[in-house]
Amino acid sequence: MSEQIDQNFENYLQTSFRQHLAGAVNEQQILPVYPETVKTRAKKSTGLKWAIGGAIVALAGATAAFAAPILFTPPTVEAVPAPAGTTEPEPTAVPPVEMLDTTGWQAYSDIDVPGDFQYPADWIVEGSCDEMGCVLFVEPPDSAALDDAGEGTTIELITGGQDDDAEYLGRVSECVNCEVVGRIPGLRGRTVSGETGDVIVVKNSVDIFVTLDGLDGYPDMISLHNLDSDELAPRSYFSFTTNTGNVGGDIAKDFDYVVTVLGTLQANADFAPQRYPLDADTGESAPDDLAEADLPKIGAVKPDSTWKTWKITELGISVQLPKGFSVVKDPFEEGDTLDIRIDSDKTTAGKENKEMLAWPDRRLDGEPGNIVGQFSGDHDLGAIPGLKVLSGAEVHIGFTYYGTYSEIGLFVADDSDLDFGAGAFGITTDDNWAPMTAADRDLVVAILASIRPL
């Protein structure tokens, strides 16, 4: 499940800007479904999904009233001839963005988002931030993302989030059918390669977006911070654009509003890219690893009478699970390996869909499968008392921690197969980038430690 969610998210990021910049709009693209709204206002939202499987960024929508545009008409200034003997300055190549009156508009600022902006009082900003970055929706009351019949154009602000995102952060393309709407006065930005330029608003046939002027092509993502720095955190780079190809809308209908929202963009002086990853217990910046005393421990949580024993014949094991957990076999086709999930259907304190996966080393057609290997991790938490595989070797629990990212799985001490008589398999949490608390980690260890041969 989490792999699909992560893939959906990655697909979303891949199509949210680049394809529409090039004018390659696929009308059959499917709008990703975000199950729950996380309201983001002037401070950090912590309403994230926590998963021993995959972390789900919850995005949804809300509605409000809509107002008609009122264009500002700049006052007429009589031209004054330059004094004799002076040289008149060259006119600015790109004029400023023509904007609506923003009186009464809301101001958006968030310590985790590199750009501040304003938006109409009856629009809403929603979304959230996590280790992967931030995804915000700036939505008009009739947003097409909220209603299939809606014509409102949603604006997205998407930040980078990982150290290996250089290729994604640095993408630049030639823009098809593009027209510069105007520049944002006094605002300059840089690309991940260090090129700098004036920040401008550009439109094509389907979208309106913020980018840089004077470069060879228009960069997807820009930074407004430390323009002379040799290296910036990936979170410093972001895109600010409509996405009608993915979520619908009519940019002609909302053109003046969208241009004005983009035109109010400014650098956030309080932006703190170093905040992530956050410790799941404290909400503060997390260490790169856990101290020995803070590692999860076998026996810290003991199954009680409320736990139920489940048999997994495909793996030749039984496992004890807390109330609310169950064993689920993922849908599969002939030739695929069989995925077995341990899921929680409980949602408490913002945690949902606790999950680990097992991969048997065989396919439905009888051929060997390509399984995930045994997981020893960075820390050996010790042997599970009384549990041995067919070779007679002890089974240990491995653990890795990368600043809230935790992975926990089984491995055999002598590197023999994790096989209890029904074939070799691998089993580990499918955590990816989900934060876990200390209690979460101890619970996973207790579940793995309860495994016994059938």
- With cut-offs at 50, 70 and 90, classify the pLDDT of residue 227: very high
Which candidate, 109, 121, 112, places its Cα nearest to that of 260? 121
Residue 314: predicted pLDDT: 82
Which candidate, 275, 302, 287, places its Cα nearest to that of 133? 275
Give the whole-angstrom CA distance, residue 265 versus residue 379: 45
- With cut-offs at 50, 70 and 90, classify the pLDDT of residue 449: very high
Average pLDDT on 340-351 reads 52
Rounded to 5°, the CA angle 115-121-125 comes to 45
Average pLDDT on 34-46 reads 31
Residue 78: predicted pLDDT: 44
| Residue of higher predicted confidence among 204 and 13 | 204
| Residue of higher predicted confidence among 56 and 1 | 1
Rounded to 5°, the CA angle 397-398-404 comes to 125
Q: What are phi and psi of 2, to 5 degrees?
A: -65, -35
Residue 357: predicted pLDDT: 62
- With cut-offs at 50, 70 and 90, classify the pLDDT of residue 308: very high
Tell whether the model's pLDDT for residue 60 goes beyond 60. Answer: no
Report the largest interatomic distance among the alpha carbons of the chain, rounded to a whole angstrom: 99
Tell whether the model's pLDDT for residue 446 goes beyond 80. Answer: yes
- Give me the DSSP letters along 425-446: EEEEE--TT-B--HHHHHHHHH
Give the whole-angstrom CA distance, residue 193 versus residue 195: 6
Average pLDDT on 219-228 reads 93
| Residue of higher predicted confidence among 410 and 286 | 410
Residue 211: predicted pLDDT: 96
| Residue of higher predicted confidence among 193 and 131 | 193
Residue 39: predicted pLDDT: 31
- Residue that has been written with the tokens 């809301």 in this structure: 106
- Give me the DSSP letters along 309-375: EEEETTTTEEEEE-TTEEEEEPP--TTSBPPEEEEE--EETTEE--EEEEEES-BTTSSPP-PPPP-
- Asked if residue 259 lies in contact with residue 98, where contact means CB atoms within 8 angstroms, the answer is yes
| Residue of higher predicted confidence among 356 and 124 | 124
| Residue of higher predicted confidence among 45 and 109 | 109
Q: Give the pLDDT confidence of 66-87 residue by residue, as tens digits.
A: 333 333 333 343 444 545 554 4
Q: Where are the domains of the chain?
A: 2-275, 292-453
- With cut-offs at 50, 70 and 90, classify the pLDDT of residue 208: very high
Strands 133-139 and 124-130: antiparallel
Q: Which residues pair with 137 in a beta bridge?
A: 126, 156
Q: Give the pLDDT confidence of 101-149 residue by residue, as tens digits.
A: 999 999 999 999 999 999 999 999 988 887 778 999 999 998 877 777 7
Q: Give the pLDDT confidence of 250-305 residue by residue, as tens digits.
A: 888 899 999 999 999 999 999 998 887 777 777 777 787 888 999 999 999 999 99
Q: Is 309 exposed, middle or buried (0-12, 13-18, 19+ CB in 10 A)?
A: exposed
- Asked if residue 413 lies in contact with residue 271, where contact means CB atoms within 8 angstroms, the answer is no
| Residue of higher predicted confidence among 104 and 408 | 104
Within 13 Å, how many C-alpha atoms sit on residue 159's CB side?
Answer: 30
CATH topology of domain 292-453: Protein Transport Mog1p; Chain A (3.40.1000)
Tell whether the model's pLDDT for residue 54 goes beyond 60. Answer: no
Residue 96: predicted pLDDT: 95
- With cut-offs at 50, 70 and 90, classify the pLDDT of residue 8: very low
- Per cent of the chain over pLDDT 70 is 67
Give the whole-angstrom CA distance, residue 419 versus residue 393: 10
Residue 35: predicted pLDDT: 30
Cite the DSSP H helix spans in 103-224. Answer: 166-169
Determine the residue type at 109: S
Within 13 Å, how many C-alpha atoms sit on residue 130's CB side?
Answer: 25
Tell whether the model's pLDDT for residue 241 goes beyond 90. Answer: yes
Strand order in the sheet with 196-203: 124-130, 133-139, 155-159, 238-242, 208-212, 196-203, 179-190
Average pLDDT on 337-360 reads 53
**Model-wide pTM > 0.95:** no
| Residue of higher predicted confidence among 34 and 346 | 346
Residue 12: predicted pLDDT: 44
Could you count the other beta carbons within 10 Å of the beta carbon of residue 24?
A: 12
The H or E element containing residue 453 is strand 452-453
Residue 82: predicted pLDDT: 47
The H or E element containing residue 395 is strand 394-402
Q: Which residues pair with 405 in a beta bridge?
A: 402, 435
Could you count the other beta carbons within 10 Å of the beta carbon of residue 364?
A: 13
Tell whether the model's pLDDT for residue 6 goes beyond 90. Answer: no
Peptide bond into 114 cis (omega under 30): no
Determine the residue type at 146: L
Which candidate, 441, 168, 144, 162, places its Cα nearest to that of 290? 441
Torsion of CA 329, 335, 337, 341, to 10 degrees: -20
Could you count the other beta carbons within 10 Å of the beta carbon of residue 273?
A: 19
